[in-house]
Amino acid sequence: MLVKYCYLTGLLVLFTKLLFTIVIQFTGQHHGLTKLLILKKY
């Protein structure tokens, strides 16, 4: 049970890091577009 929990936590951390990397790269490339989307969303 504990091993399964640790494995899932590791996967979650890895996925979050990957997601953040993609988001940072995307916002760096399309900064104006992202600002526009944020303004529309909120």
CB 27 within 8 A of CB 34: yes
- Give the mean pLDDT of 1-28: 87
pLDDT of residue 19: 92
Q: Is the pLDDT of residue 14 over 90?
A: yes
CB 38 within 8 A of CB 30: no
- Close Cβ partners of 26 (under 8 Å, ≥ 6 residues apart): 34
Q: Is the pLDDT of residue 17 over 80?
A: yes
Q: Is the pLDDT of residue 21 over 80?
A: yes
- State the pTM of this model: 0.50
- Give the mean pLDDT of 13-39: 78
CB 34 within 8 A of CB 26: yes
